[in-house]
């Protein structure tokens, strides 16, 4: 008999080498424990904080990641761009970038007997990129591009700065009955508002990050403090020491609906 229940693990922004190490350290055990049908990670910061290359892509897939979303750093690394342009990519970028941007903003991922559409969108508040309206872009995808697709669920990574814009996306999605989960990324700080809405959408404002535990959103502490004290520009150095932090979310699904959202927050001090 076909099992109507399934699970998705989403991993917050993988930040630099420490982020990759955190995924390698924690993800295999999480997979063994929860047996997810799909593992998605936001990989836009995996290579020194700006995009990711093929070597680091392989490190993460070898650890158990099936699929990658992105954000405003998706176009910084030339190998990241080439992966976006592959014929059958396992990497997407926000769908609301203007026409002509490399890659695509959504993909149907087939895992076992499941067909799950993963959509990536980017917010506009306090973001320097002039992207199209994420709400209107989502409506176009739902009403035109995915309208006739048979899907088990639709999963959305909304890469945005403000909590209010991400919460607005959650409520906007209530009109689309096949949307099962909306998760925010970008701030690198996990929020404490996991919930399942009345229409069966699982939501967390921000999944957090995988990176160095002793850091400022993945970046070494000292340059950030120096910039604050002197107002002089400092190079962002992604901390490779100071322990590991793994942030993610476990979504439990039943047909099109999410039934449970469990944030994951693990640390390892070396």
Q: What is the pLDDT of residues 238-263, one digit of tens each?
A: 888 889 999 999 999 998 999 999 99
User: What is the domain count for the chain?
Assistant: 1
Question: pLDDT digit string (tens) for 201-228?
Answer: 999 999 999 999 999 999 999 999 999 9
Question: pLDDT digit string (tens) for 98-115?
Answer: 999 999 999 999 998 899
Of 50, 56, 66, 73, which residue is the catalytic one? Answer: 73
Question: And the tokens for 129?
Answer: 């990129």
Q: Is 73 a catalytic residue?
A: yes
Quick check: 104 and 81 in contact, CB under 8 A?
no
Strands 5-11 and 38-42, sheet pairing: parallel
Question: pLDDT digit string (tens) for 162-209?
Answer: 999 999 999 999 999 999 999 999 999 999 999 999 999 999 999 999
DSSP 113-154: TEEEEEEEEE--TT-SS-PPPHHHHHHHIIIIISTT---SEE
Range of the domain at 144: 5-268
Q: Give the CATH number, domain containing residue 130.
A: 3.60.21.10
Question: What is the reported pTM?
Answer: 0.96
């Amino acid at each position: 008999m076909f099992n109507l229940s399934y699970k998705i693990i989403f991993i917050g922004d993988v930040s630099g080498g420490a982020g990759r190490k955190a995924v390698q350290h924690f993800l295999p055990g999480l997979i063994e424990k929860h047996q997810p049908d799909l593992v998605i990670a936001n990989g836009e910061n995996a290579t020194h904080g700006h995009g990711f290359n093929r070597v680091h892509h392989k490190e993460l897939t070898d650890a158990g990641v099936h699929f990658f979303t992105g954000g405003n750093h998706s176009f910084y690394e030339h190998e990241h761009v080439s992966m976006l342009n592959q014929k059958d990519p396992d990497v997407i970028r926000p769908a609301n970038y203007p026409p002509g941007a490399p890659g695509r903003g959504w993909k149907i991922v087939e895992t076992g007997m499941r067909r799950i559409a993963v959509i990536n969108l980017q917010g506009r508040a306090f973001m320097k990129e002039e992207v199209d309206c994420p709400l209107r872009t989502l409506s176009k995808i739902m009403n035109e591009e995915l309208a006739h697709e048979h899907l088990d669920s639709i999963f959305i990574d909304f890469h945005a700065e403000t909590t209010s814009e991400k919460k607005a996306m959650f409520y906007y999605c209530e009109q689309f009955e096949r949307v099962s989960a909306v998760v925010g990324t970008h701030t690198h700080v996990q929020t404490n508002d996991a919930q399942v809405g009345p229409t069966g959408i699982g939501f967390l404002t921000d999944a957090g990050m995988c990176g160095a535990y002793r850091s400022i959103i993945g970046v070494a502490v000292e340059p950030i403090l120096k910039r604050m004290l002197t107002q002089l520009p400092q190079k962002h150095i992604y901390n490779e020491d100071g322990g590991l932090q793994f942030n993610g979310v476990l979504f439990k699904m039943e047909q099109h609906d999410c039934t449970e959202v469990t944030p994951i927050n693990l640390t390892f001090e070396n």
